[in-house]
Amino acid sequence: MLDIAGVNKTFNTGTPNELRALRGIDLKVLDGSFVVVIGTNGSGKSTLLNAVAGSFLVDSGAIKVAGNDITRWAEWRRAKFIGRVFQNPFSGTAASMSIAENLALAAYRGKRRGVSWLLGKGLLSSMRERVRELNMGLEDRLKNAIGSLSGGQRQALTLLMATWLRPQVLLLDEHTAALDPKSADQVIALTDAIVKRENLTALMVTHSMQQAASLGDRLIMMHRGQLIQDFCGAEKKRLRPEDLMARFEEVRRAELLDESAAAMLRRMYV
Amino acid sequence: MSLLIGALTLGFIFSLIALGVLISFRVFSFPDITADGSSTLGAAVAAILLVNHVHPALATAAGFAGGFLAGALTGMLATKCRINGLLSGILVMTGLYSVNLRIMGRSNVSLSGASTLADFAERAGGALIGRTTFNAMGWEVASREASILLAAIAFIALAGCVMYVFFQTSLGTAMRATGDNSQMVRALGVSDDNMIILGLAVSNGLVGLGGALLAQYQRFADVQMGIGMVVWGLASVIIGEALVGTRSLGLSITGAVMGSVLFRLLVAIALRMGLNPNDLKLATAVFVFLALVAPSLLKRLKPFGHKLAGAPNA
């Protein structure tokens, strides 16, 4: 289980660029729950995922994974519990190294790395097995450098790497945003299949209302560093992309109202 | 002939420095110039131990350990203290100058009376060949020079193989991945900081080892001997890349050794042809400069060439 309690994060504190990116986030994600995160630009979706992953330390609050308080843990230490796929296909793989080497690195996620030979026969054959399941014909190209693959292939492999050892939490940060539509669909189908098969606990940020409506069993909406909406169970199932668009429009109008109200108050009192 | 063998032997000994530079500059893309200090450190430690009758193997290992610690320190400054990588190297290198003087007690330590690895190689070779000179393809060769050269080759071959195997292990692969994509490495549960510290330690360990061997070969250690080592190492790596490419680590390692040997031969030829030894470092620096700008210069010229070639069709 992922338990985020009262988390705050402000960037550039004390400067004109001060940004309160996360404001009192409370979120409990049950085991096996697939949560979709949506929100306007700059609402703090990616920041929330990065806070869990440990890209930075939060100002206050606590983050727990499977009962472990990881709030002060370094990013690399948290990887023991967390699998990640990034928005940029280049971020999740080492381009100059082979597919096999990349996967083998992932097979040791969170484990001690000693001076034992990395690419054993057993590991290579299980690699061929699991890469074949991607249906991309990569199982015969394990020795090829990852840099020679397309973005979609790289994201599929990154997903495989993130879940090679079953993670307590899988973080997907707009992992199809940089792909062409066909590859994006492929990677999304793969994501859904893996999450369901392994019954993973997952947090997925997306900009696609289509994905948000069709994937997962829970949807949260963020705005200005806060959770403003939480759809679970049957309510989530009923959601259609149009409902989400309408909700976004409401948020936008409330925003305008806030600003015009502020302008009015200024006129009256300043 | 003696000149040729000397250049070859130096080339193989210097290839340890090239391998160290290969790790820091190429595997980690870390501009580490600690090597100018750590090579002297390796030589100083080994020399002072040898003068005090420590076994040469132990003294050589201590040279490696000295470089290893110096590299680890540079790595710590760069990662834990968030100091710019180049500056971290400069700080450690500068500090090492005084440390080296302290270790040696003076600016130059002679090994003329001490027993060294070179002596071992000479004795082993002498016992094997049985004569002081022998005939190799019509050349008169001193067997002691030949045996030192063979020992150096064997030593470097071993070091290269160990290095190759190490970088295929799960730890070594994680180190290579750190140089490629540190974000990914963190996401897979590896501390990229620790990898950089360990990587620079191994890199400078090799450099220190090279310094220790060099001191034993030339029979002295000097506080100035490390100046220019990084550029020499870089020159060797660049020549190696031109010779065999960068397709795999095994090729890069082989290339660096070949580059180092070839570079020493070129230096020997240049000196023979009358290059003032004082101008050697300038010549090296200019050579590395040309090697660094040549690829981008060629690239800028290429599209022009294509246009010319494609002109009849257009």
Write the ipTM: 0.89
Same domain membership, residue B306 and residue B169: no
DSSP state of A138: G
Any chain B CB within 8 A of the CB of A117?
Answer: yes
Chain B residues close to A116, C-beta within 8 Å: 169-170
pLDDT at B6: 92
Any chain B CB within 8 A of the CB of A53?
Answer: yes
Same domain membership, residue B310 and residue B165: no
Task: Inspect the interface and report whether the beta carbons of B187 and A116 lie closer than 8 Å.
Answer: no
Chain A residues close to B173, C-beta within 8 Å: 97, 101, 104-105, 118
Give residue B314's domain range.
280-314
Same domain membership, residue B293 and residue B197: no
pLDDT at B15: 97
> Do residues B88 and B94 lie in contact, with contact meaning Cβ atoms separated by under 8 Å?
no
> Do residues B236 and B243 lie in contact, with contact meaning Cβ atoms separated by under 8 Å?
no
Q: What is the 3-state secondary structure (H, E, C) of B183-245?
A: HHHHHCCCCHHHHHHHHHHHHHHHHHHHHHHHHHHHCEEECCCCCCHHHHHHHHHHHHHHHHC
Among the partner residues B169, B172, B189, nearest to A79 by beta-carbon distance = B189
Asked if residue A86 has pLDDT above 80, the reply is yes
DSSP 3-state of B32: coil
Q: How many helices (H) and strands (E) does chain A have?
A: 9, 10
The rounded distance, in Å, linking the Cα atoms of B70 and B229 is 15
Domain membership of residue A52 (yes or no) is yes
Same domain membership, residue B247 and residue B177: yes
The rounded distance, in Å, linking the Cα atoms of A161 and A141 is 16
Task: Inspect the interface and report whether the beta carbons of B185 and A76 lie closer than 8 Å.
Answer: yes
Same domain membership, residue B288 and residue B215: no
pLDDT at B308: 46
The rounded distance, in Å, linking the Cα atoms of A126 and A104 is 11
Mean pLDDT of all residues in A233-255:
87
pLDDT at B302: 67
* Two structure tokens written together for A247: 């909700």
* Two structure tokens written together for A23: 């404001």
Name, of A209-223, A254-268, B136-150, the range with top average pLDDT.
A209-223
* Two structure tokens written together for A114: 């000693």
pLDDT at A258: 72
Closest CA to A220 of A241, A234, A208, A204: A204
* Two structure tokens written together for A139: 């199982």
Q: Give how many domains chain B has, as a whole number.
A: 2
Same domain membership, residue B237 and residue B299: no
pLDDT at A270: 66
pLDDT at A261: 75
Sequence-ordered strand ranges (E) for chain A: 2-11, 19-29, 34-39, 60-65, 68-69, 82-85, 169-173, 202-205, 218-223, 226-232
Closest CA to B144 of B165, B164, B174, B118: B118
The rounded distance, in Å, linking the Cα atoms of B189 and A80 is 6
* Token pair 């484990």: residue: A111
- Residues pairing with A117 in the sheet: B169
Chain B residues close to A74, C-beta within 8 Å: 191
Same domain membership, residue B194 and residue B52: yes
Regarding predicted confidence, which is higher, A250 or A190? A190
Please name the residues between 143 and 172 in chain B that touch chain A, using a CB distance below 8 Å.
166, 168-172
* Two structure tokens written together for A84: 């990640």
* Two structure tokens written together for A31: 């085991």
Please name the residues between 169 and 188 in chain B that touch chain A, using a CB distance below 8 Å.
169-174, 176-177, 180-181, 183-188
> Do residues A103 and A94 lie in contact, with contact meaning Cβ atoms separated by under 8 Å?
no
The rounded distance, in Å, linking the Cα atoms of B262 and B7 is 9
Any chain A CB within 8 A of the CB of B249?
Answer: no
Nearest CA in chain B to A77: B189
Residues in chain A: 270
Of A2-11, A79-88, A219-228, B280-289, least confident by mean pLDDT is B280-289
Distance from CA of B121 to the nearest CA of A (A): 31
Domain membership of residue A261 (yes or no) is no
Asked if residue A72 has pLDDT above 50, the reply is yes
Any chain B CB within 8 A of the CB of A116?
Answer: yes
Which CATH number goes with the domain that contains A117? 3.40.50.300
Any chain B CB within 8 A of the CB of A213?
Answer: no
Q: How far is CA B303 from CA B128, B133, B242, B312, B314, in A?
A: 59, 57, 22, 15, 15
Give residue A135's domain range.
2-239
Task: Inspect the interface and report whether the beta carbons of B170 and A114 lie closer than 8 Å.
Answer: yes
The rounded distance, in Å, linking the Cα atoms of A51 and A55 is 6
Nearest CA in chain A to B27: A96
DSSP H or E run through B134: strand B133-136
Domain membership of residue A255 (yes or no) is no
End-to-end CA distance of chain A: 50
Q: What are phi and psi of A149, to 5 degrees?
A: -95, 165
Closest CA to A244 of A269, A215, A221, A270: A221
Which CATH number goes with the domain that contains B107? 1.10.3470
* Two structure tokens written together for B16: 């340890």
Same domain membership, residue B285 and residue B177: no
Chain B residues close to A95, C-beta within 8 Å: 180-181
pLDDT along chain B (314 residues), means of 10: 89 97 96 96 97 96 98 97 96 97 96 89 82 76 88 96 95 95 96 97 98 96 94 93 88 96 93 90 88 81 54 40
Chain A residues close to B176, C-beta within 8 Å: 94, 96-97
Chain A residues close to B171, C-beta within 8 Å: 113-115
DSSP H or E run through B139: strand B139-142
Same domain membership, residue B306 and residue B244: no
Domain membership of residue A43 (yes or no) is yes
Q: Give how many domains chain A has, as a whole number.
A: 1
Sequence-ordered strand ranges (E) for A59-101: 60-65, 68-69, 82-85
Same domain membership, residue B301 and residue B230: no
Asked if residue A35 has pLDDT above 90, the reply is yes
Closest CA to B71 of B1, B6, B19, B9: B19
Closest CA to B28 of B181, B152, B132, B142: B181
Same domain membership, residue B224 and residue B121: yes
Crossing angle of the two packed helices B280-310 and B249-272, in degrees rounded to 10? 120
> Do residues A154 and A136 lie in contact, with contact meaning Cβ atoms separated by under 8 Å?
no
Same domain membership, residue B302 and residue B181: no
Chain A residues close to B191, C-beta within 8 Å: 74, 76-77
